[in-house]
Structure 1
C-alpha cells in the first residue's frame, strides 16, 4: 500500500492557506519574476476559489489575465490541463457565464467534450476501461490505496534497472489497477516519475495515482446516485486538498460541480474548515495582487543586492525552511543529510583573488564576473533548499571541472528561455545554431544523476549572431508580438 505523505505544504496547513499559497506564501504572485509564472499562479488561485464556491472571484482573476491581451484558456505551456473544464463547469452550474464566452461555447455538445477531456486526466493513470459501474469504482479505489508503492526494490543499482523492476512489478499485478508507471504519460508527470523510480522523492507520483483513483470513484458514484459512497469519497478528497493535483482533478468532474460544489449551503467549506467570512477579503487580496503584478511588474526585493547578500539569503532560507525531518524518510538508514548549524551554515570562507586566477588558469578560460564574485564571498555553497529538495549545484573551486557537451553541437543558441515566447502566441523564434558549446561543471561530480550544475561559457562571437537574429526578427513582428518579445527580454536581462 502506498504511504500517505504530504507533497509540499505541511500536513497541518489549513485548506484556505493552501488555496492562497500564491498570494500569501513567499514568493507570491507579486514576486514572480516571469510573466508566465505570475499568470499560472493567478490561474491556480482562480481554480481554487471556484472549487470552494467563489466563482465570481475566480472569474475576476481570469479577466485580469485577459485584460493583458492573453486568453487564459489558450495559454498552452504544457503545464495546465484543468482550467477549461473547471471554469466552464463552474459557470454552467452557477448560471454565471461571463459575456466573453460565446454562446457556441456553452452548448451541451461542448460541455460533454470538456467532460470527456477532464475524465482523460484521471483515466491516464488507470489500467481499466471507463464504465459507470460499481465494479469500476471499486477498482479505482483499490488503485488509490493499493497502487504503486513508495519504494522499489533496488535492482542492480542503476536507473535502467529500476525501470525494468517497475515494469516487472506492474506486469505481475503488484500495483493493483494502476497504469504502467513507466508510461505512456503526459510530459507533466515525467519528472515525478523519475523521482519515484530513483527513490529521490517518490510521493508526488504516488499521490497522482491516489488522486486519480478517488476521482474516478467519486464521479461514478455520483452518476449512479450512490450518495452514501459518494459522500465518503468526497470527504476523503476534502481531507487531502494539498496533495498532488487533488483540487485540479476534482474541478474536472462536471458531476461534482452539479451535485457537490455549487449547492447553496456549500458543505465543502465545513469539510475544509473554512469560514465563509474569510473568503471575500481573500478574494479581494488576490485580485489586487494580480492586477498590480501584471500591470506594474514584479516586486524586485533583490534587484540591487550584492552577491554576498544573495548567498546569505539562500543559506538563511534553507536553514529556516528545509524540512529535514520529512526528507529523512527518503534517506538510507543512519545517513541523515547534514544540517546547517545556523542561518549562515551553507557558507564558507571565500576564495582569494589569486585562487580565482588559478582556477581560470587551470580551466584555460575567463570566468563570468558574477561567478568570480560568488567565489570571493564563499568558496562553494552547501545543499540548498529549492522548495522541493536540497540541491548541490555549487562546489568549491578546486572541484570545478570541464563538462563534455559535444552532443550539444549544432543546436540552437536561444538567448531566452525555451518556453518564451509562449507557443500559443504565434511568435516563435528560430535561433541560429552553434557548432560547439563549452561548459564547466559547478557540481564537480560528472557522474551525478541527481543534480546538475552546469555553466556554459560562450564568447561574444557565438552570442552576436543570436542577438542579430533577435533584433532583425523583432523588427518584422507586429505590435502585439513586439510587446511580448520586449517583455520576455526585460524579464531575462532587465532591458532591451
Structure 2
C-alpha cells in the first residue's frame, strides 16, 4: 500500500490508515528508533499504549527493546520476571553476533571486522560507503565486549552517518545498549532536544487518537467532484512522471481526467454487467469517465477504466493466492477457527491493474452477504470469551456486529506482489483514500537545510538535527 512509501512517521497517514495492524507495525518501528536514540522511556510508553489496545502485540517487538529495558530497568509491568532473566535474554541474542565475538576477540580481529564492515573504504556506484550492517553491528558489539569503548564510539559514528540503512541491525546487539541508553547515538547524529520533545508529544498523541478512535475519514464531507479534482491536481503537482504510466515523461498530461459518461453509457455498462452499479460509482463515472494513472506518493497506480472497458472478472485464482498466504480479508485477527470463504468467481474490475501491479474490484452485495455468512458461521464456533474479543474488534472496525452483517457493495484492492488486501465499504471511501495518497510528495531525495539527505522513508532521526 502506498502509505508505506511515505515518511516513517506520517501523522496524516496514521490517522486515516484502515488497518490497525499496519498502524501497530509503524508504531513498533517508531518506538524502536526512539529507543536507539536513547529515549527508551518514550519507546516504553508506546509499548504500553498498544498493549492497552491488544495484548497480542509483544511477539512483533524487536528483541532490542528487551535489551533496552535490561540496560535501563524500565521494564513494562506486563513483561513477566522470567522473561527478564539473563538466561532468557541471552536466548534473544543473534547467533551471528556471538559467533563473530568468539572468532574475532583480538585487536587484530576487531580491526579486520571493522574493515570488512565498512567495505575497506570502497564506495558503491552512488558514492556511498559499502557498509555491511550485520558486520558493523558485530564489530561494535565486539569492541564493547573487549572493553574498547573509544573504538566502539568510532564505529557508532559510522552507524550515525548511515543510520537509515543500519538502524535495524544495530538494535540486535545486547552490548550496544550500554552506549545507546545514554543517548550516545543521538549525540553522534546531532539531534536537537527541542525537536525530539515536540516529536515525542506528536507521536504519542497521534497513535493514541488512532487506536482509540479508529481510522479518520478526513474527506468524509468533501463533495465527489472535489475529491476527483484533488486527485487530478495533486497528481499533476506531485507526480514523478518517470514513475508514471505515460507515453512521454518529458511531456506530462494536462489532466488525468476525462469527460463524464452520459446516462446512456452508464446504463449500457450496467446492461453489459448484468447488474446495477452503486450510486457513488455512477456519480464518479458521470464526472469523469475513468481516470488515467494517478500518483500515490511513490509511483503511478494503474488507471481507472471508463465505461467501455469495465468488465466482469473471475477472481477465484487470486483468492487462492491470498488464502494460501493467510491474508486477512477482514481485520479480525486470530479468529481461532477456519473460515470457509465463499468463492470469489465474479467481481467487476474497474482498473487496468494485474498481477504485476494492483487490482481494484467492485464486489457485488450478493457476494458481500456470502462473505458475512462465511464469517459468522465461523464466529458461531467461538466460545464466549473469544466472541467478546471479536465483538470488540467488530465495534472498532465496523461500528458493531449489526453493521458488519449489513454488507453492501465493497471495493476490494488487491496487490499480489505485496499480499496487501484492503476492503473499502463504498466507492466514495476508496476515492477519499486516493485523494489523500495523491497529496503525498516524493521524499526520496528530500534534504535538510544543509543539503543532507534525510532518508525520511526509513528514519526520522535526521529530521531532528
TM over 0.5: yes
Q: CA deviation at 1:429?
A: 5.2
> 1:174 aligns to what?
none
Q: Deviations over 1:236-273 (max 9, x none)?
A: 33233344xx4333222222212x3123xx33223323
2:168 pairs with 1:248? yes
Q: CA deviation at 1:73?
A: 0.8
Closer, same or farther in 2 for the Cα pair 1:443/1:435, shift >3 Å? closer
> 1:336 aligns to what?
249
Contact preservation (8 Å) 2:117, 2:136 = yes
Q: CA deviation at 1:359?
A: 2.4
The counterpart of 1:360, out of the listed 270, 282, 302, is: 270
Q: CA deviation at 1:465?
A: 3.8
Kindly report which structure 2 residues correspond to 1:71-110, keeping only aligned pairs within 5 A, or say none: 71-74=56-59, 80=60, 83-110=61-88
Structure 1: gaps spanning 5 or more residues: 1-6, 10-17, 75-79, 151-205
Q: CA deviation at 1:437?
A: 0.5
| Distance in 2 of aligned mates of 1:261 and 1:412 | 41
> 1:388 aligns to what?
298
2:310 pairs with 1:400? yes
TM-score normalised by structure 1 residue count:
0.65
Q: Deviations over 1:448-478 (max 9, x none)?
A: 5532334154451x44343234345445442
The counterpart of 1:450, out of the listed 347, 356, 363, is: 356
Closer, same or farther in 2 for the Cα pair 1:295/1:208, shift >3 Å? farther
> 1:284 aligns to what?
201
Closer, same or farther in 2 for the Cα pair 1:471/1:367, shift >3 Å? same
The counterpart of 1:431, out of the listed 323, 339, 345, is: 339
2:255 pairs with 1:270? no
> 2:49 aligns to what?
64
| CA-based RMSD | 4.2
* Secondary structure, counterpart of 2:357 in structure 1: coil
Q: Deviations over 1:347-378 (max 9, x none)?
A: 22221111122223344444343332222221
| Distance in 1 of aligned mates of 2:328 and 2:316 | 21
> 1:178 aligns to what?
none
> 1:189 aligns to what?
none
Length, aligned pairs only: 390
| Distance in 2 of aligned mates of 1:435 and 1:65 | 35
> 1:35 aligns to what?
20
Closer, same or farther in 2 for the Cα pair 1:454/1:131, shift >3 Å? farther
2:218 pairs with 1:298? no
Closer, same or farther in 2 for the Cα pair 1:408/1:486, shift >3 Å? same
Contact preservation (8 Å) 1:384, 1:390 = yes
TM-score normalised by structure 2 residue count:
0.69
Contact preservation (8 Å) 2:113, 2:135 = no
2:279 pairs with 1:369? yes
2:445 pairs with 1:467? no
Q: CA deviation at 1:225?
A: 5.3
| Distance in 1 of aligned mates of 2:400 and 2:142 | 46
Q: CA deviation at 1:224?
A: 5.1
| Distance in 2 of aligned mates of 1:401 and 1:144 | 57
| Distance in 2 of aligned mates of 1:348 and 1:428 | 47
Contact preservation (8 Å) 2:313, 2:345 = no
Contact preservation (8 Å) 2:63, 2:92 = yes
Q: CA deviation at 1:438?
A: 1.5
* Secondary structure, counterpart of 1:350 in structure 2: coil
* Secondary structure, counterpart of 2:361 in structure 1: strand
Structure 2: gaps spanning 5 or more residues: 406-465
Closer, same or farther in 2 for the Cα pair 1:209/1:316, shift >3 Å? farther
Kindly report which structure 2 residues correspond to 1:1-400, keeping only aligned pairs within 5 A, or say none: 21-23=9-11, 26-27=12-13, 29-74=14-59, 80=60, 83-116=61-94, 131-132=103-104, 133-134=109-110, 135=112, 138-142=115-119, 211-212=133-134, 214-223=136-145, 230-243=152-165, 246-258=166-178, 260-263=179-182, 266-324=183-241, 336=249, 339=252, 341=254, 345-400=255-310
Q: CA deviation at 1:493?
A: 10
Q: CA deviation at 1:59?
A: 0.9
Structure with greater contact order relative to length (CA < 8 Å, sep ≥ 6): 2
2:332 pairs with 1:421? yes
| Distance in 1 of aligned mates of 2:349 and 2:131 | 36
